[in-house]
């Protein structure tokens, strides 16, 4: 799924089409958004360098991290920015977004500092200008990556940010665009606005939801630890033919980087949650078969040769009274017979009146669960 | 004795590694505490560790909560004289208690209090000898009072923290902040805490025990260290001149 996203961004827009746009969405419970962003960034830039994409360059707008971090990141992935024929340029909205500093030390020729992040239209113009400076004018395309739109949303209105993103998408020179969003920093409607603007939404969710109001619970802490290393990765694609395709994967954070694997079965995930105690809580195969073969005491299972007759609660009143009388007798008989020979299970009968049709035999449900105090 | 008992906290923060003069450099540490469990002891602990670890370590303390005399008294009990450290240029104290922040609507006015504060910090670090420039800790006590000083504008505080963060990139210094978790109850307020949680490389939560008050245990610490991809949880007890950390059930008393 992560691969499909990278392919879609690499292929870019067709003539007369809006550029494919990806929102990477995470939350504090599963804060891997930046790592996913790094992954997509390095994949896309490698494709651009290898000539596999109609896009000829990449403009990276960095708000959350220093440009030097990205230069280092690409270097670690084996991409030498200096010799990459000027295919990438970073618009630095990190070092001095509001113009507080008197002077800026220039990091590199691939970085341009931007000091007016409150003005979305100026930001738009700078991005386009940088892009044209990188790939030239005309119809040559370039891609855009925005480190996080959270900073933009904090400093400008939702509508101006949406207008910027929408204008970028519809610009004839933009091949593809992607951005990161921390969904819990904004109201739901803001996240929705950005999702509407995207053709792909990749959301990160924790593997296990934490129980609310149970802070300090040791099990909760174990879940926090678990969630800090892996999570679920859901992608929603809006295809060209109008269909919406949803896919899911598991994402793991490792020392070497981020890893995407197909979803394992629910059982396997839940098994990890069984508390580690000294006795074996699992059932072996033989035990499972034996359990299935156990004759339940209150349900007729045809074991004493009589035809299977299950009370369905729809007998007439007369019959039921008679039945009850019989039951009383039978219980007494049972008691007598039990005192004679306890091991003889064949004699005596227990007539079980089910409370309702809906109730499953030997239900595991706790009736107290329905209480709503 | 002092070293041993605080080791769990040092371990969780990466301070147990003897190789570097200041292992927290370039990192943002956010401490969230509550009314029942005050987290200021962690600030004192980190200040002490910074001063004791290496003679080139420098601390810049931005105080909104208490005057200099308070911190001097606390650190004196732990064997450190802040006055002499200040005189030696290893400890800089910015007293913000009387700050009337004329921020208004735009923080870009030349007299903007937080902008000026940032400028002052930048100037202080730039003036240090080069060896110390790499080992600076900026400690803020505390963010909620900074918000008050900025007339309630969390945006300005976040902008200021962003600029402090650029210092961690530029100079490799560490940023340590304290904030109160339980004062933000509305939906708007809780985003400030979330912003800090996203910003922080190490998040330390100081909370009471789930089971209530106790005499032997003052509370629990949960340390989430993004850099080492590690989370730790243990109990603590604040004593006269130190803090004791231990796993649940293993208090020395």
Distance from CA of B223 to the nearest CA of A (A): 11
- Chain A residue at shortest CA distance from B115: A100
Task: Band the pLDDT of A323: cuts 50, 70, 90.
Answer: low
Nearest by CB: B198 against A28, A100, A218? A28
B119: closest chain A residue by CA: A101
Nearest by Cα to B51 from B84, B80, B26:
B80
Q: Residue A347 — pLDDT band, cuts 50, 70, 90?
A: low
SS3 A257: strand
What's the pLDDT score for residue B105? 46
CA atoms within 13 A on the CB side of B58: 25
**Shortest Cα–Cα distance, B178 to chain A (Å):** 19
Distance of alpha carbon B82 from alpha carbon B44, whole angstroms: 12
Closest Cα of chain A to B200: distance in Å? 11
Partners of A218 on chain B (C-beta within 8 Å) are: 233, 248
Query: For chain A, what is the radius of gyration of the CA atoms?
Result: 32
The total of other beta-carbon atoms located within 10 Å of residue A202's CB is: 28
- Residue A151: per-residue pLDDT: 92
Closest to A230 (Cα-Cα) out of A195, A206, A209: A206
**CB B231 to CB A224 under 8 A?**
yes
Residues of B in contact with A186 (CB under 8 A): 191
Task: Tell me the chain B residues in contact with residue A63 when contact means C-beta distances shorter than 8 Å.
Answer: none
CB atoms within 10 A of CB B209: 17
Q: Please check whether residue B185 is in contact with residue B11, taking contact to mean a CB–CB distance below 8 angstroms.
A: no
Beta-carbon contacts of A42 under 8 Å, excluding residues fewer than 6 positions away, are: A73, A74, A77, A79
Mean pLDDT, residues A152-165 = 94
The total number of residues shown for chain B amounts to 253
Pairwise CB contact (< 8 Å): A96 & B195: no
Q: Which residues of A touch B195 (CB under 8 A)?
A: 185
What is the C-alpha separation between B64 and B99, in angstroms, rounded? 8
Task: Pick B229's closest partner by Cβ from A184, A214, A229.
Answer: A229
- Number of neighbouring beta carbons within 10 Å of residue B176: 25
- A296-309 tens-digit pLDDT: 766 655 555 555 55
User: Across the 253 residues of chain B, what is the mean pLDDT of every consecutive 10-residue run?
Assistant: 64 81 88 91 91 86 93 91 91 81 44 82 90 89 88 87 92 93 74 90 91 85 85 87 82 61
Q: Which two tokens stand for residue A259?
A: 């890893």
Closest by CA to A71, choosing from A110, A127, A26, is A110
Q: Do A98 and B231 touch (CB under 8 A)?
A: no
Q: Which member of A98, A100, A215 has the closest CB to residue B207?
A: A215
Task: Give the A-side interface with B, CB within 8 Å.
Answer: 28, 31, 66, 68-69, 94-102, 105, 154-155, 182, 184-186, 214-218, 221, 224-225, 228-229, 253, 255
Asked if A253's CB is within 8 angstroms of B229's CB, the reply is yes
Can you read off the two tokens belonging to residue B154? 């969390």
ipTM above 0.85, yes or no: yes
Contact B115, B99 (CB under 8 A): no
Structure-token match 């504090």, residue found: A28
**Average predicted confidence (pLDDT) for chain A:** 79
Nearest-CA distance A116 → chain B (Å): 11
Pairing of strands A230-238, A141-146: unpaired
Q: Using an 8 Å Cβ cutoff, are B59 and B137 in contact?
A: yes
Please state, in angstroms and rounded to a whole number, the distance separating the CA atoms of residues B30 and B203.
5
Return the residue of A nearest to B221 by Cα.
Answer: A216
Share of residues in chain A with pLDDT > 90 (%) = 32
Record: contact A221-B231, CB cut-off 8 A? yes
Alpha helices in B54-210 (DSSP H): 68-77, 82-87, 113-126, 130-133, 143-149, 154-170, 187-199
Which residues share a beta bridge with B234?
Answer: B221
Least CB-CB distance to B163: which of A100, A184, A253? A100
Q: Say what the pLDDT of residue B104 is.
A: 46
CA distance B93 to chain A (A): 22
Top residue of B169, B200, B230 to mutate, by most chain A CBs within 10 Å, is B169
Residues of B in contact with A69 (CB under 8 A): 169
Q: Radius of gyration (Cα) for chain B, nearest Å? A: 18
Does residue B198 have a cis bond before it (omega within 30 degrees)?
no
Cβ A100–B209 below 8 Å, yes or no? no
- Residue A59 pLDDT class (50, 70, 90 cuts): very high
Cβ distance A224 to B224 less than 8 Å, yes or no, reads yes
Give CA torsion, residues B55, B57, B60, B63, to 10 deg.
-70
What pLDDT score does A332 carry?
Answer: 47
pLDDT at B100: 54
Q: Give contacts of B211 with chain A, Cβ < 8 Å.
A: 216
In chain A the beta strands, taken as DSSP E runs, fall at 21-26, 55-62, 88-92, 111-113, 141-146, 174-182, 200-206, 230-238, 244-254, 257-262
> Which chain B residues contact residue A155 at CB under 8 A?
155
- Report, as an integer, the average pLDDT of A126-148: 91
pLDDT of residue A318 exceeding 70: no
């Amino acid at each position: 799924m992560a691969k499909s996203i990278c392919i879609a961004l690499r292929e870019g827009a067709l003539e007369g089409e809006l550029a494919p746009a990806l929102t990477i969405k995470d939350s504090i419970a599963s804060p891997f958004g930046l790592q996913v962003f790094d992954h997509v960034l390095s994949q896309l830039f490698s494709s651009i360098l290898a000539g596999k994409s109609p896009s000829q360059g990449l403009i990276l707008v960095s708000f959350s991290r220093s440009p030097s971090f990205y230069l280092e990141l690409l270097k670690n992935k084996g991409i030498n920015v200096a010799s990459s024929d000027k295919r990438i340029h970073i618009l630095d909205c990190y070092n001095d977004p509001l113009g507080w500093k008197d002077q800026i030390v220039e990091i590199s020729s691939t970085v341009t500092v931007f000091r007016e992040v409150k003005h979305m239209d100026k930001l738009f113009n700078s991005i386009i200008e940088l892009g044209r400076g990188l790939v030239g004018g005309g119809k040559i395309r370039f891609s855009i990556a925005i480190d996080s739109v959270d900073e933009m949303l904090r400093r400008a209105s939702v509508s101006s940010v949406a207008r910027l993103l929408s204008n970028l998408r519809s610009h004839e020179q933009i091949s593809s665009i992607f951005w990161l969003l921390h969904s819990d920093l904004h109201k739901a409607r803001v996240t929705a606005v950005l999702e509407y603007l995207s053709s792909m939404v990749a959301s990160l969710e924790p593997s296990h939801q934490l129980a609310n109001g149970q802070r300090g619970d040791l099990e909760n802490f174990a879940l926090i630890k678990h969630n800090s290393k892996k999570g679920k990765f859901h992608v929603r694609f809006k295809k060209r033919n109008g269909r919406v395709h949803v896919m899911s994967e598991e994402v793991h954070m490792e020392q070497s980087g981020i890893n995407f694997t197909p979803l394992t079965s629910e059982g396997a995930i839940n098994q990890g949650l069984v508390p580690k105690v000294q006795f074996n809580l699992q059932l072996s195969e033989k035990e499972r078969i034996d359990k299935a073969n156990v004759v339940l005491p209150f349900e007729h299972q045809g074991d004493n040769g009589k035809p299977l007759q299950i009370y369905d609660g729809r007998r007439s009143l007369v019959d039921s009274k008679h039945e009850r009388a019989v039951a009383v007798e039978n219980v007494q008989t049972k008691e007598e017979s039990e005192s004679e020979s306890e091991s003889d299970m064949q004699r005596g009968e227990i007539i079980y009146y089910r409370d309702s049709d809906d109730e499953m035999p030997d239900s595991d449900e706790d009736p107290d669960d329905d209480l709503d105090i | 004795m002092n070293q041993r008992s605080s080791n769990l906290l040092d371990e969780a923060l990466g301070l147990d590694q003897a190789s570097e003069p200041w292992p927290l450099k370039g990192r943002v540490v956010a401490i969230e505490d509550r009314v029942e469990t005050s987290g200021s002891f962690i600030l004192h602990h980190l200040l002490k560790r910074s001063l004791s670890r290496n003679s080139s370590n420098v601390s810049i303390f931005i105080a909104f909560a208490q005057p200099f005399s308070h911190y001097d008294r606390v650190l004196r009990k732990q064997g450190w004289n802040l006055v002499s450290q200040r005189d030696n240029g290893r400890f800089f104290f910015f007293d913000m208690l009387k700050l009337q922040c004329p921020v208004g609507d735009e923080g870009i006015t030349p007299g903007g209090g937080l902008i000026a504060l940032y400028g002052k910090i930048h100037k202080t670090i730039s003036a240090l000898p080069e060896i110390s420039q790499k080992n600076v800790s900026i400690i803020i006590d505390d963010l909620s009072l900074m918000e008050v000083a900025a007339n309630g504008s969390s945006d300005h505080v976040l902008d200021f923290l962003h600029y402090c963060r650029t210092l961690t990139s530029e100079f490799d210094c560490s940023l340590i902040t304290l904030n109160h978790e339980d004062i933000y109850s509305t939906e708007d307020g809780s985003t400030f805490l979330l912003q800090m949680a996203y910003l922080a490389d190490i998040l330390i939560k100081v909370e009471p025990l789930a089971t209530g008050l106790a005499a032997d245990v003052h509370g629990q610490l949960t340390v989430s260290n993004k850099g080492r991809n590690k989370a730790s949880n243990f109990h603590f007890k604040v004593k006269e001149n130190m803090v004791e950390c231990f796993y649940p059930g293993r208090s020395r008393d």
